[in-house]
A and B are shown apart, each in its own frame.
Chain A
Amino acid sequence: MSTFMQLTINGAGSGAVFALLALGFVIIYRASGAVNFAHGSLVLVAGYITVRAQESMGITVAAILGVLGAGVLAVIIERVLVARTRGGDPIALVLLTIGVDVVIVEEVARRLGSSAPFVRVPWANEVIHVGQITVLKGQIVALCFGLVIIAVLFALFRFTGWGLAMRAQAEHREAAALMGVRNTQVTAAAWLIAGVLAGIAVLFLATPDFAGGGVSRATHSLVLVAFPAAIIGGLDSTNGAVIGGFIVGLTGAYSQQYVSFEFARVAVYLVMLAVLVVRPSGLFGTKEVQRV
C-alpha cells in the first residue's frame, strides 16, 4: 500500500509538470490552429538559459530569465513565422514548427556539447518521510507549484477580459473580432503563456528528481511525453490537458513499478491509442478538432 501511495504522489508530481506542457500545446492549438512541434525547443532554451545563468546570478534570477526567454522565443516564433502562414495549410504550419524545433535543438545541443547540467533547484535530491512513505521533495514541490499555476491560469481564462477574449477567439475568430478582440494580440499572448509554461516545466524536468538527466536532448524528448497528454485530454480542451497530464504522469509511475521501466515508455502511448479508439477527439475534445 505504501508503495502505491508513493507512486501516486510521484506520478502526480510528474503529472502536474506534464499538465503544464500539455496546456501549452492546447493554448497554442486553440490560438493558431496547429500543434506546436517546437514546444520541446522552448523547454530546452529555457533550461539552457537557466543553467547558464544560475552560476553567476543564482537560481531564482536564472529561472526567471529562463522562463521569460522561453516566453519571448515563443512570441517571436509566432509573430515572425506562424502568423505569416495564417489561413494557410495546417500541414505547412506543422512542418514549420518542426523545422523551427530542429534548428533550435541543434543549436542548443551544439552549445551544450556533451554536458547535461542540472537546473540546481534548492529542493533537489531531498526526500520527505510521511509515516511509512518516502517521497521526493521535488515531486511534492512540482505538484503544489503545478496546481497553483494551473489554478491561476484557469482563473485568468474565466475571469479576465483577456481570458474571455482568448476563449471567444478559439471558438470563433471572426465573431470575436466583431466584438473588438484583436486577434493578433490574443494569439501572441497565448504563445507567450505557453512559452512561460514550458519555461516553468523545465525547472522540474531537468532536475535529478525527475528523470535523472540535466538539460540535454533528453529533456527535449521528455516533452514528447506531454504530447500524448494533450491528445488524451483533447487538443482543444484546457481541462483535458490537465487531466491528460496527470493520466500520463500516473501511468508512467505505476507501469514503471509494476511492469518494467521499458514498458513505462510505451504505456503512455498505449493509453493514448486506447483513448483515441474510444474517443477520437480525446476525453474532453470537441469533435470538430479533427479538421486539423
Chain B
Amino acid sequence: MQRRVVPMLSASGLVVGYGANRSVLDRVDLSVPDSGVVAVLGSNGAGKSTLLRTLSGTLSFHGGALHDGQVKLDDRPIQRLSAASIARAGVVQVPEGRKIFAKMTVEENLRVGAVCTPPGRRASARERVMELFPRLAERLEQRAGLLSGGEQQMLAMGRAVMASPRVLLLDEPSLGLAPKLIEQIGDIVTEISAQGTPVVLVEQNAAMALRVAATAVVLEVGRVAMSGEAEQLKDSDGIHDLYLGGHSHPAAQDVDGEVEGEATDLPRRRLARWTA
C-alpha cells in the first residue's frame, strides 16, 4: 500500500497521566496516514483509551492531563484545543462504552452527530450512514436506550460518521459483542476506511483488528511495545501467543483468580489473563 509521507494525524512523545499517576502514557508516538486503518492493540489498562482521549482532547473529562508531547492534525498542533474544537476540526471519537444518548431516538442521536456539520453536507452524511448501517435505518424512531448492544455500537459509529470526520477514532467497538457481530463491525470499519476516512481502531480483539488494519501498534503499560505492518505483526510470535490465542501464558490468572471480559469471547479472555 502506498502512503504519503506526511501523516494526517500524528502524536509524538505523549506523556499523559491522571492525577498523581503522571505517566499512564510514557512517550507514545502514533502516526495516522490519510487512508487505511491503524490498529492500537494492548491488554486491559495498557493505555489505549487514554491514547484516544489524548487525540480527541477529552482527557479533562476523566481527570487526565497531557504533560508532554504533541498532537498534530496536518501539521497543526491541536493538543491545546477543546474537545469540541478538535471534533469540529474533523477528529471524531467513538468513546469506550458507546455513550449513545439513551433517552433520545436513533434519529435524534444521528442529528446530534451532525449538529456541527454544515447543513449542505448533512444529507450525504446521512445517506452514507443509512447505507453503512441498514439496521439503524429500520429503527430511526426507536429510543436509543432500547437498542441491542450491537445496534448501540452501530449507532455510536453512525453518529460519528454523521459528523463527516476526517479521522475516525474507535475505542473497542467489539466490546461485549457476539463473534458474528464483531465480524460485521470489522467489515463496516473496512468499508468506512475504503470510503476514504482513515480509522484508528483500538481493540483488545486483535484477530479482528489485524484483519482490517494496515498498520498496528501494540501498547504495553503505557509504552509502544511493537509497531509495524499488520500483516507482519500478525505473524510475529509475541502477538500470536498473546493476542491470537497461541498458547496461554503460565502466569495466567488475575490476582483474585477472576477472568475478566465476556465469557463468550475467547481471545479477550486469554488477553485478560495475560494482563495479570
Is A178 touching B115 in the complex (CB atoms < 8 A)?
Answer: no
Is B83 touching A175 in the complex (CB atoms < 8 A)?
Answer: no
Contacts of A126 in B (CB 8 A): none
- The verdict on A177 contacting B84 (CB below 8 Å), with A171-B101, A172-B99 known, is yes
Contacts of B101 in A (CB 8 A): 167-168, 171-172, 175
Asked if B139 is an interface residue, CB under 8 A from chain A, the answer is no
Q: Which residue of B lies closest to A172 (CB)?
A: B99
Asked if B226 is an interface residue, CB under 8 A from chain A, the answer is no
Contacts of A265 in B (CB 8 A): none
Task: Give CA–CA (A214, B224) in the complex, Å.
Answer: 70
Residues in B54-100 with C-beta less than 8 Å from chain A: 56, 58, 61, 82-85, 87-88, 92-95, 99-100
- The verdict on A179 contacting B99 (CB below 8 Å), with A164-B108, A165-B115, A174-B58 known, is no
Q: Which residue of A lies closest to B93 (CB)?
A: A178
Asked if B249 is an interface residue, CB under 8 A from chain A, the answer is no
- The verdict on A177 contacting B83 (CB below 8 Å), with A164-B115, A165-B115, A168-B112 known, is yes
Asked if B116 is an interface residue, CB under 8 A from chain A, the answer is yes
Is B112 touching A164 in the complex (CB atoms < 8 A)?
Answer: yes
Is B108 touching A182 in the complex (CB atoms < 8 A)?
Answer: no
Task: Give CA–CA (A175, B84) in the complex, Å.
Answer: 10
Is chain A's binding surface mostly helix, strand, loop or mixed? helix
Contacts of B163 in A (CB 8 A): 179-180
Residues in B94-119 with C-beta less than 8 Å from chain A: 94-95, 99-104, 108, 111-113, 115-116
Most buried by A among B82, B93, B103, B113: B103
Is A174 touching B112 in the complex (CB atoms < 8 A)?
Answer: no
Q: Which residue of A lies closest to B156 (CB)?
A: A175
- The verdict on A168 contacting B104 (CB below 8 Å), with A174-B58, A179-B112, A180-B163 known, is yes
- Nearest chain A CB to B89's CB is how many angstroms away? 9
Is A164 touching B111 in the complex (CB atoms < 8 A)?
Answer: yes
Task: Give CA–CA (A64, B196) in the complex, Å.
Answer: 52
- The verdict on A174 contacting B95 (CB below 8 Å), with A164-B115, A180-B163 known, is yes
Task: Give CA–CA (A181, B95) in the complex, Å.
Answer: 15
Residues in A134-178 with C-beta less than 8 Å from chain B: 161, 164-165, 167-168, 171-178
Q: Which residue of B lies closest to A160 (CB)?
A: B115
Number of interface residues of B (CB under 8 A): 28
Contacts of B61 in A (CB 8 A): 173-174, 177
Contacts of B159 in A (CB 8 A): 179
Contacts of B58 in A (CB 8 A): 174, 177-178
A-B interface pairs (CB < 8 A), number: 73
- Nearest chain A CB to B64's CB is how many angstroms away? 12
Is B115 touching A180 in the complex (CB atoms < 8 A)?
Answer: yes
Is B104 touching A167 in the complex (CB atoms < 8 A)?
Answer: yes
Is A179 touching B113 in the complex (CB atoms < 8 A)?
Answer: yes
- Nearest chain A CB to B42's CB is how many angstroms away? 22
Is A179 touching B87 in the complex (CB atoms < 8 A)?
Answer: yes
- The verdict on A178 contacting B88 (CB below 8 Å), with A164-B108, A165-B115 known, is no
Task: Give CA–CA (A164, B92) in the complex, Å.
Answer: 18
Convert A111-152 into 0s and 1s, putting 1 for each residue whose CB lies closer than 8 angstroms to a CB of B: 000000000000000000000000000000000000000000
Is A180 touching B88 in the complex (CB atoms < 8 A)?
Answer: yes
Asked if A256 is an interface residue, CB under 8 A from chain B, the answer is no
Q: Which residue of B lies closest to A177 (CB)?
A: B83
- The verdict on A175 contacting B95 (CB below 8 Å), with A182-B84, A183-B84 known, is yes
Is A182 touching B82 in the complex (CB atoms < 8 A)?
Answer: yes
Q: Which residue of A lies closest to B63 (CB)?
A: A87
Task: Give CA–CA (A178, B93) in the complex, Å.
Answer: 6
Q: Which residue of B lies closest to A161 (CB)?
A: B115
Most buried by A among B92, B116, B160: B116
A-B contact sample (16 more), CB < 8 A, given A164-B108, A164-B112, A177-B58: A164-B111, A167-B101, A168-B115, A174-B58, A175-B99, A175-B100, A177-B87, A178-B83, A178-B94, A178-B160, A179-B115, A180-B84, A180-B88, A180-B163, A182-B84, A183-B84
Contacts A/B (CB < 8 Å), 21 sampled: A161-B115, A168-B112, A172-B99, A172-B101, A174-B58, A175-B95, A177-B61, A178-B87, A178-B94, A179-B87, A179-B92, A179-B115, A179-B159, A179-B163, A180-B84, A180-B85, A181-B84, A181-B112, A181-B115, A182-B84, A286-B103
Task: Give the 4 A-B CB pairs with smallest separation, nearest first.
Answer: A180-B116, A177-B83, A175-B99, A180-B87
